[in-house]
Chains A and B, each alone.
Chain A
């Protein structure tokens, strides 16, 4: 039983360890979708924004947040969905971007395409499709190493 309310800093620390269900190398906080955490009396309120409106991972994400926080003894919990301001890939943390690239997914760029091949760092790239294996990714190919790779779309 939780005797004292954990600090918000502690709670953010717990959330830092909850992985994204589709790209488990990055956490939900790396992705930038947890917009706020606050105590309303003895109830913890966590505000989450979806990446894409039809993203099937959204329900799993909520379930994972709930499971993690309940595992740390949080009993009264409310998850709120916030649509505006709409999520942008610009909210991804630098740590998240580096982890994505290390995993083989090119991080989002304001220019609209990947900066370099996540496998060989070549800048000779071509787009295969604007859409990929999940709503947040597009398919690109490196014309040097010839490997196709995922690019995290910039929205």
Chain B
């Protein structure tokens, strides 16, 4: 049996939707625990935006797949090996600084990706990108301010932000790897080649890190296996047991 034409598109939509789902869930873990009330509210609002975007992406993924799966089905009834999110996003929150460093590294990529997708040949994708990019512009603005504020802050906050950057940098490279799914998206004018987004990303991130008095690690080694689904880190499974238990214990429960 030949691969259906829609297969790479389904994969691609799952990548977009799983990125926002996994990060949205991760930052919602802060709800009620953030260092100050305003940050708690900001994290919950960002999570809300990301979960909303997830619904848009995974609904279209379900339509494209044509097997009757809704966004909820895809979110709650798939296992670790079916997830297509970047490894960066499933990493545990760590401290507030680490959470915001992860957010910044993702937001900078996310906004450039969405900006490119506004010109997608696929109308549904272009519409989701148009909607989401407005929200993500806010996310990036806040993450940038926080990274600069904490990096160029006290000795304690500076050293924590540097440690967060050193820890998370090896997960940045995966965002710019191109594979067969990406090639199929480029061929059909649906999405850009991820590698083409790298120079602008490096410039933006470099400028912010300089303003934050932080040092970008020299080594560009990149962990991979998240967006292809080949090898997730152990953290995703633990996260899914939390995120999915209700729908697994009581399938299709509604309220």
Contact = CB atoms under 8 A, between A and B. Distances in A.
Contacts of A85: 130
Nearest to A83: B127
A132 B52 contact: no
Given A129-B38, A155-B134, A55 B126 contact: no
A54 B71 CA distance: 14
Interface of B: 38-39, 41-42, 45-46, 48-53, 55-56, 123, 126-128, 130-132, 134-135, 138, 141-142
A55 B135 CA distance: 11
Nearest to A56: B48
A19 interface: no
A55 B48 CA distance: 7
By DSSP majority rule, is chain B's interface helix, strand, loop, or mixed? Answer: helix
Contact of A84 (B38, B50, B131, B138): B131
Contact of A54 (B38, B53, B141): B53
A131 interface: yes
A131 B131 contact: no
Contacts of A135: 45, 48-49
Nearest to A88: B134
A53 B141 contact: no
Nearest to B56: A53
A154 to B, nearest CB: 10
Contacts of B141: 130
Interface of A: 50, 52-56, 83-88, 128-133, 135, 139, 153, 155
A54 B41 contact: no
B41 A53 contact: no
23 contacts: A52-B52, A53-B49, A53-B52, A53-B55, A53-B131, A54-B49, A54-B50, A54-B52, A54-B53, A54-B55, A83-B128, A83-B130, A84-B123, A84-B130, A84-B131, A86-B127, A86-B130, A128-B38, A129-B42, A130-B138, A131-B38, A133-B41, A139-B41
B142 A131 contact: yes
A128 to B, nearest CB: 6
Contacts of B55: 53-54
Nearest to B48: A54
B148 to A, nearest CB: 14
A86 B132 CA distance: 9
A55 B130 contact: no
**Closest A-B pairs by Cβ, 9 of them:** A54-B52, A53-B52, A84-B127, A129-B38, A54-B48, A131-B42, A83-B127, A131-B45, A86-B131
A83 B138 CA distance: 18
A130 B130 CA distance: 21
Task: Give the one of A83, A131, A133 with max B CB within 10 A.
Answer: A131
Contacts of A53: 49, 52-53, 55-56, 131-132, 135
Contacts of A56: 48
Contact of B51 (A54, A132, A153): A54
Nearest to B43: A131
Nearest to B137: A155
A64 to B, nearest CB: 19
B66 to A, nearest CB: 20
Contact of B41 (A83, A84, A88, A131): A131
A52 B135 contact: yes
Contacts of A86: 127, 130-131, 134
The CB with the most chain B CB atoms within 10 A, among A50, A55, A130, is that of A130
A37 to B, nearest CB: 21
Contacts of A52: 48-49, 52, 135
